[in-house]
Amino acid sequence: MSFFDGIPVAPPIEVFHKNALYLNETAPVKVNLTIGAYRTEEGQPWVLPVVHETEVEIANDTTLNHEYLPVLGHEGFRKAATELVLGENSPAIKEGRSFGVQCLSGTGALRAGAEFLASVCNMKTAYVSNPTWGNHKLVFKKAGFTAVNDYTFWDYDNKRVHIEKLLADLEAAPEKSVIILHGCAHNPTGMDPTQDQWKSICEVIKRKNLFTFFDIAYQGFASGNPDADAWAIRYFVDQGMEMVVSQSFAKNFGLYNERVGNLTVVVNNPAVIAGFQSQMSLVIRANWSNPPAHGARIVHKVLTTPARREQWNQAIQSMSSRIKEMRAALLNKLTELQTPGTWGHITQQIGMFSYTGLTAAQVDHLIAEHKVFLLSDGRINICGLNTKNVDYVAKAIDETVR
């Protein structure tokens, strides 16, 4: 007898499962388009040079120690992260209506934000885009939301944002529902609303008294410019919206396993901040008590040292340009092969992912016959492509869809 008898085995987390299948594959030619992490032209993980230099400096700084950080995190990091997403001249910053809370990467920021809304504000209905990142529903449910619904995002036939249905779904959401919006580089579709579409989304959220929860895990990655990628969030702030914004520094700093994240909070009235922060301290105290320092120190130093920040800007530009080049290379090859179907969406989409439109059966075939590993919904990580394997992948897709 065990206390744990009868616990059913949960289905595997697809992205990690597929990544493991790739790693265990013994075929000499194989391609990994699964996990959302940047890869160089050589197919390797990349430690950004500016991150490495900063780490060395931190390691040699004898004034630093390993004492606990405050519950809400590293002060300088929280401020720098908030300024990065809202913009230094944000009215919310100038009017003292915003602050950051250091969290365990983007997932931890989502979790802390969701648990706060559910347990302190009694908001228990959330809406996520359909499709969305595989973890959104799980995080909100485990954080205490009783209803995690979908709003339409993707028009599968025309491979575009289905703005009409999206707006209609938001119109129908009950007051005080929490609407989770991808700040940029929507995962998995790689397609963001246009500026006009964002304006319509903001208008409905405001008029229907819904609550905005932005999730921005790819700031800088989408366009190569962190300010441009934060446009939608800053527009909502300009419209006087209250919101929380989960930020991840996994992708744009390459700090995946250091778990560096921030929850930026924007409120209408500075008088509510003391209550908010005290209750948020309890949420965090009960989860991880206080956050780790290493990654936060790196991000803080890089963002607040002009020369380093410039190096970082160049690094994100180089990552985002390589992704754009690989999109173009894949599309060119498919066009050259006259692969049946339309493929223009590959270069219209932005960020790390392309939502190819390949069916689950085609995905199975690509894995079994060509050892090209991707997610069953047809999402590929463009970073897994390089000049040496892109033709191989295009030919494999061509053979698969014929």
36 vs 224 by CB, closer to ligand PLP? 36
55 vs 192 by CB, closer to ligand PLP? 192
Q: Is 266 in the site for ligand PLP (CB under 6 A)?
A: no
Q: Give the integer Cα–Cα distance in Å for 378 and 253.
A: 26
Q: Is 384 in the site for ligand PLP (CB under 6 A)?
A: no
Among residues 259, 222, 227, 244, the alpha carbon closest in space to that of 350 is found at 222
Q: Give the integer Cα–Cα distance in Å for 371 and 354.
A: 18
Which of residues 261, 291, 295, 351 is near ligand PLP by CB under 6 A? 261
Q: Is 83 in the site for ligand PLP (CB under 6 A)?
A: no
72 vs 250 by CB, closer to ligand PLP? 250
Q: What's phi and psi for 202, nearest 5 deg? A: -60, -40
Q: Is 295 in the site for ligand PLP (CB under 6 A)?
A: no
331 vs 382 by CB, closer to ligand PLP? 382
- HEC readout, 161-226: ECHHHHHHHHHCCCCCCEEEEECCCCCCCCCCCCHHHHHHHHHHHHHCCCEEEEEECCCCCCCCCH
- By rule CB under 6 A, what count of residues binds ligand PLP? 12
Bridge partners (DSSP) listed for residue 245 = 214, 264
Question: How is residue 190 written in tokens?
Answer: 């790689």
Q: Is 35 in the site for ligand PLP (CB under 6 A)?
A: no
Q: Is 319 in the site for ligand PLP (CB under 6 A)?
A: no
Q: Is 133 in the site for ligand PLP (CB under 6 A)?
A: yes
Quick one: DSSP state of residue 103? E
Q: Is 73 in the site for ligand PLP (CB under 6 A)?
A: no
Q: Is 187 in the site for ligand PLP (CB under 6 A)?
A: yes
CA dist 200 → 164, 304, 388 (Å): 10, 35, 43
**Window of 22-30, 51-59, 77-85, 103-111 that interacts with ligand PLP by CB under 6 A:** 103-111
Contacts of 158 (CB under 8 A, 6+ apart): none
Residue 83, classed as helix, strand or coil, is helix
Which residues are marked as active site?
Answer: 133, 215, 251
Which of residues 31, 32, 36, 178 is near ligand PLP by CB under 6 A? 36
72 vs 352 by CB, closer to ligand PLP? 352
Contacts with ligand PLP, residue ranges (CB under 6 A): 36, 105-107, 133, 182, 187, 215, 217, 248, 250, 261
